[in-house]
Structure 1
Amino acid sequence: MSAPIQKVCVIGAGVMGAGIAAQVANAGVPVLLLDIAKEGEDRSAIARGAVARMLKTEPAPFMSRDAAKLVEVGNLDDDLEKAAECQWVVEAVIERLDIKQALYARLDKVCGPATAISSNTSTIRLASLLDGASEQFRRRFAITHFFNPPRYMRLLELVTGPNTDTAMFDGVVDFIDRRMGKTVVVTHDTPGFIANRIGTYWLQHGVNQAVEQGLTVSEADAVMGRPLGIPKTGIFGLLDLIGLDLMPHIARSMTEALPREDAFHATVREQAFIRKMIADGYTGRKGKGGFYRINKGESGREKIRESIGLVTGVYEPAQTARLPDALGRDPAALMFSDSRYGQYAWRVMGDTLAYAASLVPEIADDVVSVDAAMRLGFNWKQGPFELLDAIGPARVAARLQEEGRPVPALLRAVGDGTFYRIENGARQFFGTDGAYHDIPERDGVLSLDDIKRRTKRLAGNKQASLWDIGEGVACLEFHSKMNALDDKILAVVKESVEIVGRDFRALVISNDATNFSAGANLGTVLFAANIAAWGEIEKTVAEGQRVFKAMKYAPFPVVAAPAGLALGGGCEVLLHADSIVAHAETYAGLVETGVGLVPGWGGCGEMMERLSRLPGVPKGPMPVVASVFETISQAKVSKSAAEARQMGILRPTDSITMNRDRLLFDARAKALALVDGYAPPTKPEFRLAGAGGRTGLGLAVHDFAKRGIATPHDVVVAGTLAELLTGGEADAIDVVSEEDMLALERRAFMRLIRTGPTLQRIEHTLVTGKPLRN
């Protein structure tokens, strides 16, 4: 059994190496970041500069500024011996075999036999890296291929060799999984591994076909995007994100490594206009632009999004391409359409799916690994074989045959069947042996999707459901659009509290979606306001308060397990839970002021109670009120769960789970740990700042307005929030009950919802997805 990983060394402070070091630090583990020595006083300037850049980079590689303090910088000439202190060394230097092998020879002398060493290479095979290496080095070496940016991309491709010490790398894999939050996919030692082998083929083929078929950049991305379950960047937007200058290097490496008969070679065509773009500095988002660019116009203030003509090479205003609804919703209808969009979809995605099918088992043991790699490495909603199932494998095979093109053996073998099926509640995959096999369950992983296949829901409607997740714990799941909260969800929350109180030991609130909850359903609020149904709005606010407090004071523990957005009402759900187990990428905040409102479901009081209990908070009402006022009035949103803890949304006793796949399991474990001896919390009482505190907050708002930071309606909203947080008519010496705080929230909410500027903000947000500063 390998020693626990307590310190990591990353060699190479470029974008990838620095990002890997940052993710190790995000896991709370010290990391040594090394690069070549630089002449001058600061010989470690390259590594030090990388850390400084990451502190300014958006999206941020560090989950908090405290994480950056765990990075120790150094250089290869003076500090390589320190690598011996580490249990794992990650090499992330330039993709040159000679440079990597020279570094390995030095590491072999410095590091003891208990130190695992891996390369982050994306193109060079393990066998080539180990050519000439000692037996001891071969035993402790593997490839651990992270994807960029390492904090946000969940995929890690693992390549081991015949001599790799399995027990040693079991410890590394466990660290990468649990502490760094990555899904580890085992790949074979082939060029480009899984994701880059298929993804690069898809990207290059997509460019070539767009040029040949005369599609615009926008049209190609509209086809090769959301209709096929691919991010809206599509082909060209993704290339801008990756960097146009990187693709020729990857293609060259793959071309040199792959046999001449591989279909990849047909995609490698030099496009003269792309060569010119790179030469002129149009390398994508990191350069002056790419296939898309932002032109500020003659005034310098107007922003015009432009795309390059694939024939002319000239930038023109980008036109939004829209597919007919029937094609935009159904990948099969799109790919088998006779339209020019259908022809493009078939030639690009049809060929890509066939290519993927031809590579199993060359690149991986099974289709499950391939699908996971493409979902997590390229953010496809479905992997190639899942997409084949959605289209129909037999239909794809028949068309390939009709066109006189080879049908991959695996596609022929599955015949009229599918690559996945459900058998006795278990999800199975079609293997290369022609038989179906259960997809293995991972220890410490619990999925609502798996639970839904095996059980019937306990309660629910179209917006929310209650599920039995085992061991006496139920899970409340929101599944409305963006998991926005409305009266239907409140009804299920209320019913869930009753059911769990009667039949279960604890409740978890979570879901498998990208976002926990984007807040209250603003559409229903705006509709009610437009018909002046003020009584109905106030009734919904009051009902939300009653339901959330019933959850808070229920006779059983409630654990909220958010991931992604937890905004507004979604954040208020967290604030009413006994405990939070948050995925590391949780972005939480009370953002109601952005739409001209204040939190109405108890969020203000809960934030004040949380902050008043934090160690180190000065005594007296004003420091807490001022802090809550700043957080809510500025609609602050955490950029990670670690930042949510710094904001007071997460308490010191709350937990952070790095791996999204483990969130529900960890939340259930936390709920069970709270069961024995559980007692509901006592109701808080508040001593607020009164009129004097309100005056102080008002002066701050007036200063913001004077400096042009606060708009006229910001002043109105902030003034209403200040009155709420300081107790309304209450004096500073009065005790304000929780019920009184809720009444203050309702009154403030109803006052603002009746104002024209607030309704304008709500409507603007619903239409554009962006806040209105009025």
Structure 2
Amino acid sequence: MADRKDDTAIKKVCVIGAGTMGAGIAAQVANAGVPVLLLDIVPKDGDNRNAIAEGAVAKMLKADPAPFMGKRPARLVETGNIEDHLDKVAECDWIVEAVIERLDIKQGLYAKLEEVRTPGTAVSSNTSTIPLEKLTEGRSDAFKRDFLITHFFNPPRYMRLIEIVAGAGSDGATVDRVVDFVDRRMGKSVVMAEDSPGFIANRIGTFWIQQAVNSAFDMGLTVEEADEIGGRPMGVPKTGIFGLIDLIGIDLMPHLMESLTSTLPPDDPYQAIARSEKLIEQMIDEGYTGRKGKGGFYAMHKGEDGKRTKMAKPLDGGEYRTAARPGLVRGPAAKGDLRALIETEGKVGEYAWAILGPTLSYAASIVPEATATIVGVDDAMKLGYNWKFGPFEMIDTIGPAHLRERMKQDGIPVPPLLETVGDKSFYRVENGQRQYLTTDGEYRDIERPEGVLLLEDIKRTRDPIVANGSAALWDVGDGVACLEFTGKMNALDEQVMKLIGKAIPVVRSDFKALVVYNEGSNFSAGANLGLAMFAVNIAAWSEVEKLVKAGQDAYKALKYAPFPVVAAPAGLALGGGCEIALNANAVQAHAETYIGLVECGVGLVPGWGGCGEMLDRWRSNPRQPGGPMPTVSKVFETVSTATVAKSASEAKELGFLRPTDGITMNRDRLLHDAKERALSMVEGYEPPEKPEFRLPGETGAAALMLAVDSFRKQGKATPHDETVAKELAGVLTGGDTDMTETVTEAQMLKLEREAFMRLVRNDKTQARVEHMLETGKPLRN
């Protein structure tokens, strides 16, 4: 073996096991810009000894949702097999084992790794069930020192949680190196778990699902009733219980049950509720395994008219029937009031309590066995199962004392932590600092890792500088202000534009820079179309044009402010949300930013400067051929098709982000990184010069429309698509101009406004907007 590593950086990773999880982990390493070696066994048939690993990469390149954030990361994956290429692990700084969940196979692989790896190289298992102590049996102390468990959640690109388990003999520096890498480079939120069966999220999650399924069968509920009661009112994703089982695969349930029952002690509460249902066994046998199979508890039926109808499986074993919307949960219970939910009379309250009572008791019972703090439990469930609230946050909502008394009344075990809390709460805010209750009954501050800055923490310590119903301005420290959108889906309206107008002089006077950022699920879904349609319906055209002009003025005021403006989008940044990023002086985007100018999809054109900004980006792109027509054609293709980048990396390829714009992998680090980017621009900052364009004019527009006409004749574009495309082509080619004339930014904005107003008056555009508001889907008219 080579000498022990003394370099702490992880520069290359090896993943062994090219199944769904292993390949997904390799893809996320590549997404981080780090080379990765992906190995698997040699297939029994065929001449290609690397076929399994190569096939996994090829499959991921076609998958949707995509494991890769673009085509470039895939080039960082080197494939091979463990017979011919295992010696290459000596080049790697971290080896991730993601093979089948069999102890003998894992241990056999570790014996081989010990012979070829460089000492000091981190080795981890992606196991979700096998204790670390068993995995390292028979290995040397040196191997044990470098070994840990890194339990990713599927799919690795999109699920933020990683549970990490360090053994008693694990080297702290090695663990820290892996923790830092998966946090900063892979974008994961780390929860440290103890070496106990199922760790945290899957242990609680499996108990929760089992309890919910058992109770639904016992109470004679329909799957729709169970999912309505046990879904959104509890802060659970809209799939609910049975929809979630369909998503992860019904056939996975028996394996989870077998895994936990075989590893948990006999007196663990899960052992008492673990049971199978004949209906579920029958569905698995017949291939009804959920979304990946012929259907599950839900299935889509396509009628003779081509329409698809959602069907539901009765739990008594009958035939599929049309899924119903029960409408059982109303009032405060429907809005997340858990106490109101469990106290609702009838089956709503009975079923809610049948789930929450035992589940919250179980969650409280595994601290500190599964993880040291209640924060670890709550983070694991929010990140791993997408719960809105963690179990202890739920307990605080219900009231710990009230919950404890009801548990005693109904014979549900009351864990020690629920006795420890007494009449207090598990969380509190003290001097603006959120604190949690420890197992010894004391409160401690929730400490953020270095480089994590959250607006939710700032809001506990101060009031906004200025605010209205749609936006707010905050002081985030070090002379940087933060503009936050606060409306539904962070939609943009006249109030946002007014707030921008108030913010600019405040920042100019009292701050060095501005960051545009929020902590909603989405940066902004674009303009508030509902308000716009209200004005359209009463023919208040001047009000519509006033809103378009206000947006243009506000965005350009940000662009040319005497201080740097950095946009920090995450999630959806569509339409006007994309345009504010386009007008910012720099962008620090979360890796999972889905950005695009989608106005053509609702029969409009970008109206807040997006056309000019895209032209300006593409003409300065070194990959773009010279001359105005290639630039115009590229922007026309992207905008007319309402193309949305599926990652920040792809957004650079599409021109929504500059090559110099930054990407942050970890969502919790986005505000900090954007703030640092803004501060780095302060010294000597000068606003950008206003661009001028030389555009091809009417001849260029005619050339663009030839392609659109061809698409229409092929049935790929509708007549109204052609109308919208003609307006867009007119804007992008400069209107009534030619190559000898200069088109200013102000003229581009005027062209945008005029095209927008012509389209918004069109009945077919209005139909598209109304259809989008009603259904959330585009109308092809």
> Is TM-score (shorter-chain normalized) higher than 0.5?
yes
Q: Report the alpha carbon displacement of residue 733 of structure 1 after superposing the two structures with TM.
A: 1.8
Which residue in the other structure is 2:667 paired with?
A: 660
How far apart are the structure 2 equivalents of 1:430 and 1:314?
50
Q: Report the alpha carbon displacement of residue 266 of structure 1 after superposing the two structures with TM.
A: 2.0
How far apart are the structure 1 equivalents of 2:723 and 2:493?
26
Partner AA of 1:308 in structure 2: K
Conserved? CA contact 1:153–1:377, under 8 Å: yes
Q: Aligned residues, how many?
A: 773
More deviation, 126-135/143-152: 126-135
Conserved? CA contact 1:210–1:344, under 8 Å: yes
Which residue in the other structure is 1:318 paired with?
A: 323
Which residue in the other structure is 2:603 paired with?
A: 596
Q: Report the alpha carbon displacement of residue 294 of structure 1 after superposing the two structures with TM.
A: 1.2
Which residue in the other structure is 1:132 paired with?
A: 138
How far apart are the structure 2 equivalents of 1:559 and 1:378?
32
More deviation, 278-287/152-161: 278-287
Q: Deviations over 1:704-752 (max 9, x none)?
A: 1000011111111001111111111112321001110000000000000
Matched, 1:110 2:110: no
Which residue in the other structure is 1:297 paired with?
A: 303
Which residue in the other structure is 1:571 paired with?
A: 578
How far apart are the structure 1 equivalents of 2:753 and 2:247?
45
Which residue in the other structure is 1:637 paired with?
A: 644
Matched, 1:543 2:550: yes
Q: Report the alpha carbon displacement of residue 298 of structure 1 after superposing the two structures with TM.
A: 4.4
SS in 1 for 2:15: strand
Which residue in the other structure is 1:12 paired with?
A: 17
Query: Paired residue for 1:756, among 763, 772, 778?
Result: 763
Which residue in the other structure is 1:729 paired with?
A: 736
Q: Report the alpha carbon displacement of residue 416 of structure 1 after superposing the two structures with TM.
A: 1.5
How far apart are the structure 1 equivalents of 2:374 and 2:170?
24
How far apart are the structure 1 equivalents of 2:391 and 2:404?
14
Q: Deviations over 1:598-625 (max 9, x none)?
A: 0001110011001111102111111111
After TM superposition, list the pairs within 5 Å mapping 1:274-289 onto structure 2.
274-289=280-295
Q: Deviations over 1:150-200 (max 9, x none)?
A: 000000000000110110121111010000000010000100000000000
Which residue in the other structure is 1:121 paired with?
A: 127
More deviation, 132-141/322-331: 322-331
Q: Deviations over 1:370-424 (max 9, x none)?
A: 0000000000011000111111111111101112332111011112211100001
How far apart are the structure 2 equivalents of 1:354 and 1:382?
15
Matched, 1:99 2:112: no
Partner AA of 2:320 in structure 1: Y
How far apart are the structure 1 equivalents of 2:14 and 2:412?
49
How far apart are the structure 1 equivalents of 2:505 and 2:758?
33
Task: Tell me the TM-score normalised to structure 2 length.
Answer: 0.98
After TM superposition, list the pairs within 5 Å mapping 1:622-701 onto structure 2.
622-701=629-708
How far apart are the structure 2 equivalents of 1:365 and 1:96?
28
Which residue in the other structure is 2:3 paired with?
A: none
How far apart are the structure 2 equivalents of 1:290 and 1:66?
36
How far apart are the structure 2 equivalents of 1:500 and 1:321?
51
Q: Deviations over 1:474-522 (max 9, x none)?
A: 0000010000000001111111111101110000000111100000000
Matched, 1:36 2:41: yes
Query: Paired residue for 1:184, among 184, 190, 207?
Result: 190
Structure 1: which 5+ residue stretches go unaligned? none
SS in 2 for 1:266: helix
How far apart are the structure 1 equivalents of 2:303 and 2:214?
31
SS in 2 for 1:454: coil
More deviation, 54-63/401-410: 401-410
How far apart are the structure 1 equivalents of 2:110 and 2:318?
45
SS in 1 for 2:499: helix
Which residue in the other structure is 1:141 paired with?
A: 147
How far apart are the structure 1 equivalents of 2:20 and 2:671?
32
How far apart are the structure 2 equivalents of 1:525 and 1:288?
43
Partner AA of 1:388 in structure 2: I
Report sequence identity in percent: 60
How far apart are the structure 2 equivalents of 1:659 and 1:255?
35
How far apart are the structure 2 equivalents of 1:259 and 1:651?
55
Matched, 1:327 2:333: yes
How far apart are the structure 2 equivalents of 1:732 and 1:652?
28
SS in 2 for 1:235: helix
SS in 2 for 1:427: strand
Matched, 1:3 2:8: yes
Q: Report the alpha carbon displacement of residue 2 of structure 1 after superposing the two structures with TM.
A: 4.9
Conserved? CA contact 1:273–1:313, under 8 Å: no
Query: Paired residue for 1:338, among 335, 342, 345?
Result: 345
How far apart are the structure 2 equivalents of 1:386 and 1:378?
15
Which residue in the other structure is 1:309 paired with?
A: 314
Matched, 1:612 2:619: yes
Matched, 1:159 2:165: yes
More deviation, 401-410/199-208: 401-410
How far apart are the structure 2 equivalents of 1:697 and 1:580?
30
Matched, 1:27 2:32: yes
Partner AA of 1:149 in structure 2: P
Q: Report the alpha carbon displacement of residue 305 of structure 1 after superposing the two structures with TM.
A: 1.1
How far apart are the structure 2 equivalents of 1:349 and 1:561?
37
How far apart are the structure 2 equivalents of 1:390 and 1:474?
33
How far apart are the structure 2 equivalents of 1:6 and 1:326?
52
Q: Report the alpha carbon displacement of residue 339 of structure 1 after superposing the two structures with TM.
A: 2.2
Q: Report the alpha carbon displacement of residue 313 of structure 1 after superposing the two structures with TM.
A: 4.1
Matched, 1:469 2:462: no
How far apart are the structure 2 equivalents of 1:256 and 1:473?
54
How far apart are the structure 2 equivalents of 1:591 and 1:609?
19
How far apart are the structure 2 equivalents of 1:634 and 1:559?
27
Conserved? CA contact 2:526–2:577, under 8 Å: yes
How far apart are the structure 1 equivalents of 2:91 and 2:319?
55
SS in 2 for 1:412: helix
What is the RMSD computed on CA atoms of the aligned residues?
A: 0.9
Query: Paired residue for 1:90, among 96, 113, 137?
Result: 96
Q: Report the alpha carbon displacement of residue 316 of structure 1 after superposing the two structures with TM.
A: 1.1
Query: Paired residue for 2:222, among 194, 210, 216?
Result: 216
Conserved? CA contact 2:191–2:380, under 8 Å: yes
How far apart are the structure 1 equivalents of 2:85 and 2:693?
55
Matched, 1:509 2:498: no
More deviation, 285-294/464-473: 285-294
Query: Paired residue for 2:54, among 45, 48, 51?
Result: 48
How far apart are the structure 2 equivalents of 1:24 and 1:209?
41
Q: Report the alpha carbon displacement of residue 442 of structure 1 after superposing the two structures with TM.
A: 1.2
Which residue in the other structure is 1:169 paired with?
A: 175
Conserved? CA contact 1:3–1:114, under 8 Å: no
Conserved? CA contact 2:358–2:412, under 8 Å: no
After TM superposition, list the pairs within 5 Å mapping 1:122-521 onto structure 2.
122-298=128-304, 301-322=306-327, 323-329=329-335, 330-521=337-528
How far apart are the structure 1 equivalents of 2:613 and 2:126?
45
Matched, 1:59 2:65: yes
Structure 1 residue ranges, 4+ long, deviating more than 2 angstroms after superposition: none
How far apart are the structure 2 equivalents of 1:50 and 1:441?
37
Partner AA of 2:258 in structure 1: R
SS in 2 for 1:55: helix
Partner AA of 2:60 in structure 1: M
Conserved? CA contact 1:2–1:114, under 8 Å: no
Query: Paired residue for 1:75, among 70, 81, 93?
Result: 81
Q: Deviations over 1:566-604 (max 9, x none)?
A: 000000000010100000000000000111100001110
Partner AA of 1:309 in structure 2: P
Partner AA of 2:14 in structure 1: C
Matched, 1:716 2:716: no
Q: Deviations over 1:318-348 (max 9, x none)?
A: 1123222332112221112122111101111
